[in-house]
Structures are given as structure tokens and as C-alpha cells.
Structure 1
Amino acid sequence: MAHKALILGIGNVLWADEGFGVRCVEHVARTLAYGPEVAILDGGTQGLYLLPFLEEVDIMVVFDAVDYGLPPGTMKVVEGDEVPAFMGAKKMSLHQTGFQDVIATAQLMGYCPDQIVLIGCQPVELEDFGGGLRPQTAARIPEAVTIARDWLGARGITATEGQTATNDLADPALHRDVYEGGRPSEEVACRIGDARFFPAAE
């Protein structure tokens, strides 16, 4: 039986390096041409809403920012049964617990992909609301995508240089170049919340 694969990016682009996984799938769709057996999805923070996508495939690549307790910008690849443990070892946000639940539920229901790889990057900065990827994190995107391409290729799912059409990415207004390029300066837009609610300085 021919394999069907899901390339999934999870995370929240509104919190700096939390958007690493989403930016990876954008890069995949923009630089690699896969056939119809491959779905490319910006999973954002959807949690259990991702279950139907897992049901349709037997191979899955997951990109995410993961707190491995390693130096910032470090890449780490985890496969198989280790994936849920690493995604919840040090939770950075609610989406990680949510995705652990997705995998556990899919396993319980008998349709979790047979082969899973987590390609994660240790974040540099998270506490920057509305912020983009830090350069050290962004620089790892091509490497992460190459790891995914090679991993899928070893399982008979190959890509050529080009693009993959998909309706499952964020609106173009949220793509990295547009989103980060249009961000107001720090003087105009507060980075850590709504300045109207900060305590008045003494």
C-alpha cells in the first residue's frame, strides 16, 4: 500500500520563536514539490481539531519549537514513541499539551500514524507578543526542512525543487515575510502586553 504523509507545523506565530513549526511548513510549501500523497498543514494551536488529519495518513512529520533544555537554537530530532514525551517534558504553551492529547487520542482510536518524527528547535525568545522568529531560530528552518525531506525520502516519499499547492496554511497576510516586515517598531507597539494595563511607574 502506498504511504500517505502529513507534514505538520504547530505553534503560535504571535509569540516569537513559538512560530518555528508554522514557519517550517511555509518553507516546505514554498520550496518543495510533493505529490498528492502528502498534505502540508499549519496546525497552529488547534489541538484535537487535528485528529481528522492524522486519521488519513500513516507517516507524519511534526515541526515545533520545543524546550529540550538545550542551548538556544539547538535542533533535535525525536522519533516514534519518544515524540509525546518530548513534547510535554517542559511545556512552553498550551499547544504542546494539546498535541500530546491528539497523539494519545489517535492511538486510543487506532489510527495514529505508524511513523512519526518530531523536528524541534530550542527557542531563543518567547516573551515577545507579536514578535517574529529570532535570527538564530530562523536560521534553522532550511536545516529542519532538509531533515524532513531526507526522512520522508528514506520512506519512499520524495520531493523535487518547486512548490506544493495547499489550502491548509495561514492567510498570506500572516506569512513570515509579510507579518514580520509589517510589524511596528518597539516604540509604537509594546512587546510584552497591553501597556494601558501596566502599573504606573513610581
Structure 2
Amino acid sequence: METTIQTADARILVLGIGNILWADEGFGVRAVEEFHRRYALPDGVTLLDGGTQGLYLVQFVREADRLLVFDAIDYGLEPGTVKIVRDDEVPKFTGAKKMSLHQTGFQEVLSAADLLGSYPRHLALVGCQPLDLEDWGGPLTPPVRAALEPALKAALSILAEWGIVASPRPEGDEGPGLLSHDIDSVNFERRAGE
């Protein structure tokens, strides 16, 4: 029987993974960036742009009691569809179809954390069905960009289940940027359109 994690003691990681240089493959990074822009999180919750770091993420995953991941996942659904997968099902989807190097790497991250004896007790994957993964340097496609809103709502709901309330940032206070100004979504997409 699993013991319940006390929210005050739980270490929670909200992680976005993907490659912003390949259009919709950047969904996870753009989702965590947008989440950070809109919401402040309490102590004990870490927000991280994992990009394509692969096995370098093992230590972060090992330190988390609960892990919420944003990622582009080929579920075989309509582009822009957001699907939530939880706990034991998560590794199956992070390696179901290799769309990029980071996915296999993330499945390996979960396996390595498990082998090292520090695996998150709860996992949630907020995945979005991509449309285009081959537009090098391109922004998110319209259906995947539109999926950011339902993905953020899903993440808020999952965090609430875990006893975490994300506070909306005041109007005009977007906090410090999660990504450097050259690769944040606004500047990146402006340059992609030039």
C-alpha cells in the first residue's frame, strides 16, 4: 500500500522537454515557458526547461516526488490534441514512436532514475499531438499553438490534485524569463517570420 505524500514535504518538478528548432517538437518547452509567464509556484515546486538534455535530467527527476512533463507526443490523434497520461503509462508514451533524440533520452532518464532507486512516486504527462516536426527553425503550428491553453489548464488541474495552487501573476508582471531573450517564443517566432 502506497503512503500518501504530504504536500508540504513533496518535491514537485514541472518539466518541459523538446527541441524548439523543429516546429511542434518544441511544444513541451513552449508550454513550460508559457506556464512560467502566467503563474507563480510555491516553494517546493521547480519549473524547468529540459530542452533536449536527455540523461542530464536524471538528477532532477531523481529529486522529484511528483513529476509533471509537457511534451510533443505522437498519439496518432488529430494534430493539436492534448492527452494526459499518468504514472506507469508515461514511459510507454515517451518512447512509443521515436520522433526525436530527446524522447528516447527521456525514456532512458526514467529508467535510469528507477535503476538508481529514486523514481517519482507520481508522474503525469501532458502531451500534444504534433502536426509538423520537420520545419527547421519554424514556430509551433496553429493547432499546436492553440493546444497550449488546454495543456496549461490540464497542468493546473494536476497540480491542484497534488495540493499545489499556482497563483496567476499580476497583469504586466510576467516574472523573470524562463528562456534567454533570443530564444523565448516571442523573439524566436518574430525572427522565424523574417
Structure 1 runs of 4+ aligned residues shifted over 3 Å read: 163-167
Instruction: Report what 1:198 is aligned to.
Output: none
- Does the C-alpha gap of structure 1 residues 42 and 6 become closer, same or farther in structure 2, counting only changes over 3 Å? same
Aligned mates of 1:139, 1:57 — CA distance in 2: 29
- Where does residue 6 of structure 1 map in the other structure? 13
What is the alpha-carbon distance in structure 1 between the residues aligned to residue 193 and residue 32 of structure 2? Answer: 25
- Superposed CA deviations along residues 37-86 of structure 1, whole A, max 9, x for unmatched, are 11111100101100111122201110000011111111111000110111
Q: 2:127 aligned with 1:92, yes or no?
A: no
Aligned match of 1:189: none
Q: Which residue of 1 aligns with 2:117?
A: 110
1:133-152 → structure 2 map (5 Å cutoff) = 133-152=140-159
What SS does the corresponding residue of 1:102 show, helix, strand or coil?
helix
Indicate conservation of the 8 Å contact 1:68/1:122, yes or no.
Answer: yes
What's the % identity of the aligned pairs?
49
SS of the residue 1:152 aligns to = helix
Secondary structure in structure 2 of the residue aligned to 1:170: coil
What do the CA deviations read for 1:164-194 (whole angstroms, capped 9, x no partner)? Answer: 8678x33121011110012254xxxxxxxxx
Post-superposition CA distance 1:127-150 (Å, at most 9, x none): 110000001100111110111111
Partner of 2:3: none
- Could you say which residue in structure 2 is the equivalent of 1:40? 47
Residue 177 of structure 1 is matched in structure 2 by 186
The whole-number CA distance in structure 1 between the counterparts of 2:41 and 2:174 is: 6
- Equivalent-residue separation in structure 1 for 2:161 and 2:176 (angstroms): 23
Amino acid of the residue matched to residue 68 of structure 1?
Answer: Y
How far apart in 2 are the matches of 1:37 and 1:164? 20
Say if 1:69 and 1:122, in contact at 8 Å, map to a contact too.
yes
TM-score scaled by structure 1?
A: 0.87
Aligned residue type for 2:45: V
Equivalent position amino acid for 2:42 in 1: G
Q: CA RMSD in A?
A: 1.5
Is the radius of gyration larger for structure 1 or structure 2?
Answer: 1
Q: CA deviation at 1:112?
A: 1.2
Distance 2:179 2:54 in 1: 16
SS in 2 for 1:182: helix
- Structure 2, unaligned runs of 5 or more: 1-5
Q: Shift of the alpha carbon at 1:33? A: 1.1
